[in-house]
């Protein structure tokens, strides 16, 4: 939408596990996973036969993002796997995917056109709602994963990632050009659009950027927190909501000039979020954290659900919340306002 820095720092580089002034580190419980996935083999071929169609309870693999493509859900994760569901997350089947690089984020502009990004600066493109994917960019020699992707329209989009990596396309993702959004090498963890040509980027060590001209120029925004942000959402009023390390979350009433703190019921790191069709907002994170807001992000409740995994992302489908994370998929019925 999208480590344990950015859900396992969207699984990129074990060297970032060391605490520093830039806070390039995260949750110790995923140290082994981070190290293991950094050693994944280079881009190859994933056979559709590797994963048979299966119920959500049987999807026992790391998934880092999920998005809606019309009535279809598309989830991405470890070893380049892309899973599809047409029944609101109850059953999943594999898409035809051209690589084994871990995928960290997926974005659909409409029900047919989507893009996925990940390790080795891999970018995949689909024109058929996620059924098949084409590899359109990779740079394994740079060892810089991409962590999020967003498109303004069917032609113009951005992908952002580790060490300040930013790529832009103006032909629907067939070709990509390097962009410099800021002079240093901070990780750029998330990107989201805003009204009137605005684009927001959130990242490491309190990094917040805004463009007012669809990405031609960028400027830093004041940051309410020196730690890392892993997600940014466009609220129903067009303003941004940011969230990340240690349960920190803030919303802005004026395009990022000021930030108002949001109570998140603890210090659990928040990894993903989504604005639902009815304007309600869901945030998810480590320790099975799920937060729901019914008032534009001013207040969040923490519903009781009994789930027991770290979540990376959430999407809405069929009246339910579909959550993905360290152990696959969970389907959670929508919680009515006031339920806890």
Domain CATH number, residue 75: 2.130.10.10
How far is 288 from 217, CA to CA, in rounded Å? 38
**Residue carrying the six token digits 């880092």:** 64
Say if residue 121's pLDDT is above 70. yes
Q: Is residue 339 part of a domain?
A: no
How far is 211 from 144, CA to CA, in rounded Å? 23
Confirm if 234 and 275 have CB atoms less than 8 A apart: yes
In this prediction, residue 58 carries a pLDDT of 87
User: How many residues in the chain?
Assistant: 340
CB within 8 A of 291, min separation 6: which ones? Answer: 264, 265, 270, 282, 283, 284, 300, 301, 302
Q: Is residue 270 part of a domain?
A: yes
Q: Which has more pLDDT, 30 or 233?
A: 233
Q: What total number of domains does the chain contain?
A: 1
SS3 content of the chain, % helix, strand, coil (to 5): 10, 40, 50
Q: Is residue 91 part of a domain?
A: yes
53 confidence band (pLDDT: 50, 70, 90): confident
In this prediction, residue 328 carries a pLDDT of 96
Closest by CA position to 5, among listed 20, 23, 68, 21: 23
Q: Is residue 338 part of a domain?
A: no
Write out the residue range of the structural domain in which residue 106 sits: 9-332
User: For 6, phi and psi rounded to 5 degrees?
Assistant: 55, 70
Choose the weakest-confidence range: 28-37, 114-123, 292-301.
28-37
How far is 223 from 28, CA to CA, in rounded Å? 26
Residue-wise pLDDT tens digits, 185-216:
999 999 999 999 999 999 999 999 999 999 99
Q: Is residue 122 part of a domain?
A: yes
In this prediction, residue 48 carries a pLDDT of 42
Q: Is residue 2 part of a domain?
A: no
In this prediction, residue 335 carries a pLDDT of 54
Angstrom CA distances, 35 to 79, 254, 266, 305, stand at 14, 40, 28, 31
Tell me the whole-structure pTM to 2 decimals. 0.86
Angle at 42 between CA 39 and CA 43, to 5 degrees: 140
Say if residue 300's pLDDT is above 50. yes
In this prediction, residues 112-134 reach a mean pLDDT of 98
Q: Is residue 3 part of a domain?
A: no
Q: Is residue 56 part of a domain?
A: yes
Name the average pLDDT for the chain: 87
């Amino acid at each position: 939408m999208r480590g344990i820095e950015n859900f396992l720092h969207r699984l990129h580089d074990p060297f970032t596990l060391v605490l520093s002034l830039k806070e390039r580190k995260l949750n110790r419980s995923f140290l082994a996973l981070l190290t293991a996935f950094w050693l994944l083999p280079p881009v190859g071929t994933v056979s559709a036969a590797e994963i048979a169609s299966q119920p959500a309870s049987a999807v026992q693999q790391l998934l880092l993002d999920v998005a809606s493509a019309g009535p279809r859900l598309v989830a991405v994760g470890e070893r380049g796997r892309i899973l599809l569901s047409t029944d609101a997350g109850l059953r999943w089947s594999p898409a035809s995917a051209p690589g084994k690089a871990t995928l960290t984020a997926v974005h659909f502009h409409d029900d047919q056109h989507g893009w996925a990004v990940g390790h080795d600066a891999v970018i995949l493109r689909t024109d058929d709602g996620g059924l098949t994917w084409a590899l359109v960019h990779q740079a394994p020699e740079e060892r810089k994963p991409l962590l999020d992707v967003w498109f303004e329209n069917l032609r113009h989009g951005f992908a952002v990632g580790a060490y300040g990596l930013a790529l832009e396309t103006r032909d629907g993702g067939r070709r990509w050009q390097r962009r410099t959004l800021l002079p240093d090498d901070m990780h750029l963890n998330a990107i989201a659009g805003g009204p009137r040509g605005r684009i927001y980027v959130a990242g490491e060590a309190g990094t917040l950027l805004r463009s007012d001209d669809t990405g031609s120029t960028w400027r830093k925004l004041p940051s309410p927190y020196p730690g890392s942000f892993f997600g940014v959402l466009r609220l129903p009023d067009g303003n941004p909501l940011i969230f990340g390390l240690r349960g920190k979350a803030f919303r802005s009433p004026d395009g990022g000039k000021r930030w108002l703190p949001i109570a998140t019921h603890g210090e659990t790191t928040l990894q993903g979020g989504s604005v639902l069709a009815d304007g309600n907002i869901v945030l998810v994170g480590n320790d099975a954290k799920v937060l729901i807001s019914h008032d534009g992000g001013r207040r969040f409740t923490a519903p009781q659900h009994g789930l027991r995994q770290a979540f990376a992302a959430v999407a809405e489908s069929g009246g339910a919340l579909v959550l993905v994370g360290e152990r696959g998929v969970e389907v959670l019925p929508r919680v009515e306002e006031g339920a806890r």
